[in-house]
Structure 1
């Protein structure tokens, strides 16, 4: 898969936007953003999209990573109530469908993104995005409280929380808009597509943890590699090997679920209007784009060995 020919011409376009929104205020923040290579993620996720849609996707990714840095790298939430005060204006933006006039800088950015993303989308899509984003904020607050209180989760609870803090599910909703994905409705298929999204979030979160293990530990943050080492009583190298196997097993489950969705709903759709197949294509492409991006950036450090090409 090649980067989208319509992707923004390098990170410079993204950087100008981030400066205008106040997300980049000094040389350190600029270098951090440059290291993220988010134009690579957006371009790979939308290989056939126009430049405006790729740019909007990249800008959402910048905002997501900026917020993640504030929580994980700048100690936001080290005092009780601090993170909740930071997230409350973000929740208000979605509660008011972007029609309010926030003063908190982070809420102004979210409102501006929302006003460019939500028009033309259904009430169901808006509700689904708001639910996914609020759940991410809930999970982030829970994670920070656990860290503040020195609570270390067992593996089963850690992976459930990590699925919610990785922000992949809100980004899937963004891609539904920017990738012009067909809206697939119906309780049965929606539940199966949510399962596919959950598998993507797990793979992305676990691969992210594998890439950022050293940085996370240095920042005093728990990490899947550390959790596995602690639970299994093994070395970091052994834990990394097990996490790699977990990722490959989850990817295999993702492939199986995607193939079953295509098979089951292609029969019902016949030779036309294969909305489910198109949606699965979008999620598979996002999976491949995310793994490529993690390999290219090394999660903002040194590049990692690439993941195998198959999704």
Structure 2
């Protein structure tokens, strides 16, 4: 899989592709274990975004149990968990105007966020967070433990030797024109070689797809199910902002058969800190109507009276979409 261009090379014990929550958590835990064992370990994380967190789109309700296992003193370390969930509401949107609120007694435990669903511990709620800010904080912890992080470097391909063993990755070439030709500023990517390489690219990562194909990793496995998720971040007036309010729902517009829809998915609306609201729609990539536009369905959904009252008078400040496993 690796090309034959002569490249500079660096060697590490572990190379991690992707500075998302999983990649950074893995880097932190590896260094913690090495430090506990008083062993030297070199760990490198490469991130395609211009900075850590730049490609993190999740508008997240976060359960801190795993974070507490990784950093029991995360609060003292200043982890950006500032908005505990105070109230949960779950709705079924029946049509463009009507909504039915589901009683808490009928809501599955996994949907309760004002307290850990796993333990029914109402004294320890989940948090409405910026996943991007959490990743930036994790990167600070990782660097403090000795991890090297290279933002702005996309992994281009895996290095696989003649024996079929993954030996690291090659970062993307720079100075390449749109037609693939080399410009005057061309610079070949580097080889980052490692004893172990972790691929934390997220859903449908391009190297991951190649490795799955090369090593038949999906043989005798159920096909992976995917969705597309949309998210917007809104600044809203103070008088309609309720930090810690979490809304989830399903139904309209995805089930609007008059509009050509008969699809599955769900929506969310979270009130975070700094007078901001996160709103989004997740659409299963199993819809049969080829004319369905998930983006347009998201825009329609925001006009439902239930959601509109949370956004009216506000201003959209960020938008993103990505595949979800």
Q: Which has the higher strand share?
A: 2
Q: Greater helix percent: which structure?
A: 1
Return the structure number with greater relative CO, CA threshold 8 A, min gap 6.
2
TM-score (norm 2): 0.25
Give the TM-score normalised by the residue count of structure 1.
0.26
